[in-house]
Amino acid sequence: MKAAPFPWREAMAIGFGVLKLSSRDFWALTPRELASAIEGLTGRTSAPMDRERLEELARRFPD
């Protein structure tokens, strides 16, 4: 399974538009640092569901 590409457009929108970072400061951040800054704004979110949990739900609640 191919990983989803990094959401650069959304990252830049938050970095420049919301956090008001300069280009220099934004591009100096690691993705993890940017994620932490976003978490500071929005609060912590739960991790996405993994495949095992999805399959369990599909067995419990078939269509």
Determine the Cα–Cα distance for residues 40 and 33; give it in Å rounded to an integer.
11
In a domain, 29, yes or no: yes
In a domain, 18, yes or no: yes
pLDDT tens across 4-50, in order? 888 889 889 989 999 999 999 999 999 889 889 988 888 777 777 67
pTM attached to this predicted model: 0.60
Number of domains making up the chain:
1
Confidence of residue 63 (pLDDT cuts 50, 70, 90): low
Domain that holds residue 33: 8-60
Output 3 or 31, whichever has higher pLDDT. Answer: 31
pLDDT for the residue 16: 94
Output 61 or 46, whichever has higher pLDDT. Answer: 61
In a domain, 1, yes or no: no
Tokens standing for 62?
């078939």
| Neighbour-count burial of 26, counting CB atoms closer than 10 A to its CB (0-12 exposed, 13-18 middle, 19+ buried) | middle
